[in-house]
Structure 1
Amino acid sequence: MSSTTTQGVEVSVETYYQPDYSNPLSGEFMFAYRITIDNHNNFSVKLHRRHWHIFDSNGEYREVEGEGVVGVQPVLQPGDRYQYVSGCNLRSEMGRMSGSYQMENIDTKRFFDVDIPAFEMIVPFKNN
């Protein structure tokens, strides 16, 4: 698991290879990732946007930006935790993702960026 804390917001990531949704012979590798966001601040925060950097070991690079996560813009009260699962497809057996969330301090209406730690996606048979 990868984890980092930025301005009182902790982001942790766990990844899972999805063999049932992958087709290695066609160069299709699907991964799921679970993100856990913990608000350690004494104020509420709202997640507005996400920005991903996706690196495939075959040399491909993609960026993904958009509002919220999995269709929502969660608000986390002090001490709250928010968790969601999403996925990423690669054209090779290994890749890496990292990124950031644009958050808002609900009290001050100020926006700030929260780092999403870099994490690797590796099919299990490559670890042998």
Structure 2
Amino acid sequence: MVTEITEGVKVSVEAIYQPEYSNPENEHFMFAYRITIENVGEYSVQLLSRHWYIFDSNGTHREVEGEGVVGQQPIIAPGEQYEYVSGCNLKSDMGSMQGSYKMLREMDGALFDVTIPKFHLMPDHKLN
């Protein structure tokens, strides 16, 4: 698990290879990732959008942007957390993701970016 704190927002990520949804013969490798967003700051924040950079070990990369996460734009009060699970497919069995969330601080309407730390997408057997 990797973790990073930006402006009072702690983002932790854990990635899991999904062999049951993968098809290596057809260059299809599926990964799930669980993200926990914890407000360790003093003011409520709302997650407005996401921006991902996805890197595949075959040399390709892509960017994904969109509103919210898994169809939601959660408001996270101080001391609370929001968790979700999503997925990513690659054409090889190794890669990485990183990115940012656009957040709104409710107290004053300020917009700011929160870093999603770089995490690796890799089957467990590759770690040995």
**How high is the TM-score relative to the length of structure 1?**
0.98
**Letter of the aligned partner of 2:72 in structure 1?**
V
Tell me by how many angstroms 1:41 deviates: 1.1
Tell me by how many angstroms 1:126 deviates: 2.1
2:51 is matched with 51
Structure 2: gaps of 5 or more residues: none
In the alignment, the residues of structure 2 paired with residue 118 and residue 73 of structure 1 have an alpha-carbon distance, to the nearest angstrom, of: 22
Tell me by how many angstroms 1:30 deviates: 0.1
In the alignment, the residues of structure 2 paired with residue 78 and residue 123 of structure 1 have an alpha-carbon distance, to the nearest angstrom, of: 35
2:103 matched to 1:103? yes
CA RMSD, Structure 1 to Structure 2 (Å): 0.6
Aligned residues, how many? 128
1:58 partner SS: coil
What whole-Å deviation, never above 9, does each CA across 1:77-127 have from its counterpart, x for those lacking one? 111100000000000010000000000000000100000000000122322
1:23 is matched with 23
In the alignment, the residues of structure 2 paired with residue 36 and residue 124 of structure 1 have an alpha-carbon distance, to the nearest angstrom, of: 21
2:110 matched to 1:115? no
Percent of aligned pairs sharing the same letter: 59
| Dislocated runs of 4+, deviation >6 Å | none
In the alignment, the residues of structure 1 paired with residue 75 and residue 124 of structure 2 have an alpha-carbon distance, to the nearest angstrom, of: 35
**Letter of the aligned partner of 1:2 in structure 2?**
V
2:80 is matched with 80
Structure 1: gaps of 5 or more residues: none
